[in-house]
Amino acid sequence: MKILVTGASGLLGKKTMELLSLSKRFEVIGTYLTHPNEMIYKLDITNKISVEAFFHDFNFDIVIHAAALVDADYCEKDKELCENINVIGTMNLVDVCKKNGKKLLFVSSDYIFDGDRPPYTEDSAPHPVNFYGVTKLEGEEIIKKNLDDYIIIRPPLLYGDDDETKPDFITTLLKKLKNNEKIFLDNEIIKYPTLTEDIAQSILALISVDAKGIFNTGSDEGITKYQWAKKIAQFYGYTEDSIFENKESPSAPRPLNVLLDSSKIKRLNISFANIEQGLKKTFKTDYAKKFNFRIIRSKDVPLEDRSPYGGYFIKRLFNGQLNDSDENVGLYETIIRPHSTVKSHYHKNLDEILYFFTACFLVIGSEKIEIHPNDTVILPRGVPHEVITQNEEVRLLAIKIPNIVEDKRIYKH
């Protein structure tokens, strides 16, 4: 089955192409307009003749239409361009699908709703509050009027792994945090950030079952951009002090709270990552405050904080935030053979506490550290580490903690 993905150089199109290609069930051909890469073709969807010729050359079975002018403020300023890409471009693709009897999957938006009366089902009345939303709704209407075999999906704010050409919210924010820039963000409008990967999975599921009709596709955890940024900063180990509330209105009005009821697509076994899961899934080592590890030497630990083994009483470290019944805490005892090494690795989603019964060397980043028996090492996620043994086997306990936890106690070491 041959599939065309328009907007394959974009945040969502790229992820969709990647996922469909991986499934090996489809031949996937993607297009771009201004951001080329080796794997995709140039196609301006506003040019009817080019669209027809492209379709004629490849004879697609399904069109996934993810190309659009997405910047709502820019759309408000240049309505003609926005209309041309989002409406005329969509119409050109609808025409070729209609002529050739092919299926179209259109990526619409939560911005077709006004955000005044959430939640919104697939049947709720649309009422866009900005021009971008108007053009996405027009796209939907052209499709409904002209095609029988179509799918319309409506994602909210998208984020996910991306490259430097199309930085998403998280990447842009991390860059600013790293550069100590002041960051101003809205703290009124409730957004429902959704992973591109989850939308790409939705697209795969929908075309796999040959679905038809409209599907809301969004996470149901609401958050303002300001609150989200604070969570991101905290997760990556940055101070939140440079993040401020922005009181200025954007040039395009925004819907206040478009909570989508996505229960229809969830029946296809699709789920949407919440904020915390999304942070873990998109973890970027480059931006994490690396090498922020701590070593607590057993001799420096006061008697009352020593474990029965003589080392650091780990439960105390988190002021009682951890307890024995915490299912999220993984505890492993490991033995490493003499003269061997545990190759350098880092954990994407886990903080780790290593408690050593035996002496060894630990390489953290490029630093080689001598470890004594009963030393405790705290390794936040993203810190590359390697254990090197000498003449004797090394015994250690590793505690893996998926939730970021703050060490409230301070010890000299």
In the complex with ligand NAP, the residue whose CB is nearer, 26 or 32, is: 32
- Among 4, 45, 142, 353, which residue interacts with ligand NAP (rule: CB under 6 A)? 45
Structural contact between residues 222 and 257, judged by C-beta atoms closer than 8 angstroms: yes
Q: State the minimum distance, in angstroms, from the CB of residue 138 to ligand NAP.
A: 12
10 counts as binding ligand NAP under rule CB under 6 A: yes
Query: How far apart are alpha carbons 40 and 33 in whole angstroms?
Result: 10
How far out from the chain centre does Cα 304 lie? 43
Burial 294-323 (b: 16+ CB within 10 A, else e): ebbbbeebeeebebeeebbebbbbbeeebe
The verdict on 38 binding ligand NAP (CB under 6 A) reads: no
Which of the stretches 31-39, 287-295, 315-323, 367-375 binds ligand NAP when contact is defined by CB under 6 A?
31-39
The Cα–Cα gap between 344 and 5 comes to 39
**Minimum CB–partner distance for residue 132 and ligand NAP (Å):** 8
- Check binding of 13 to ligand NAP (CB under 6 A): yes
Whether cis (ω within 30° of 0) applies to the bond prior to 156 is no
SS3 string, 231-278, reads HHHHHHCCCCCCEEECCCCCCCCCCCECCECCHHHHCCCCCCCCHHHH
What is the chain's length? 413
- Rule CB under 6 A: say whether 134 interacts with ligand NAP: no
Among the listed residues 3, 4, 5, 9, the single contact to ligand NAP using CB under 6 A: 9
- With contacts defined by CB under 6 A, how many residues of the chain interact with ligand NAP? 30
Nearer to ligand NAP, 82 or 336 (CB): 82
Q: Which residue type is seen at 68?
A: A
Nearest distance in Å: CB 14, ligand NAP: 7
Coil, helix or strand at residue 341: strand
Name the residue nearer to ligand NAP (CB basis): 90 or 376: 90
Residue number, 68 or 206, with CB nearest to ligand NAP: 68
Segment 275 to 314, residues that bind ligand NAP, using CB under 6 A: none
CA-based nearest residue to 260, from 141, 129, 108: 108
Q: Is 34 in the site for ligand NAP (CB under 6 A)?
A: yes
Per CB under 6 A, 157 contacts ligand NAP: yes
Residue of 98, 144, 166, 306 that binds ligand NAP (CB under 6 A): 166
Task: Work out whether 140 is an interface residue with ligand NAP (CB under 6 A).
Answer: no
Among left, alpha and beta (phi > 0; psi -120 to 50; other), residue 370 is: beta
Burial class (CB within 10 angstroms; exposed 0-12, middle 13-18, buried 19+) of 176: middle
Which 73-132 positions form the footprint of ligand NAP (CB under 6 A)?
A: 85, 89, 107, 109
Separation CA 327–CA 325 (nearest Å): 6
257 binds ligand NAP (CB under 6 A): no
Instruction: List beta partners, residue 213.
Output: 151
> Measured from the CB of residue 25, what is the shortest distance to ligand NAP in angstroms?
22
* Site residues (CB under 6 A) for ligand NAP, limited to 46-75: 46, 66-70
CB of 130 to ligand NAP, least distance (A): 12
Shortest separation between residue 32's beta carbon and ligand NAP, angstroms: 3
Q: Are 225 and 165 in contact (CB under 8 A)?
A: no
| Nearer residue to ligand NAP within complex by CB, 50 or 358 | 50
The distance of closest approach from Cβ of residue 280 to ligand NAP in the complex, given in angstroms and rounded to an integer, is: 20
Q: Site residues (CB under 6 A) for ligand NAP?
A: 6-7, 9-13, 32-35, 43-46, 66-70, 85, 89, 107, 109, 136, 155-158, 166
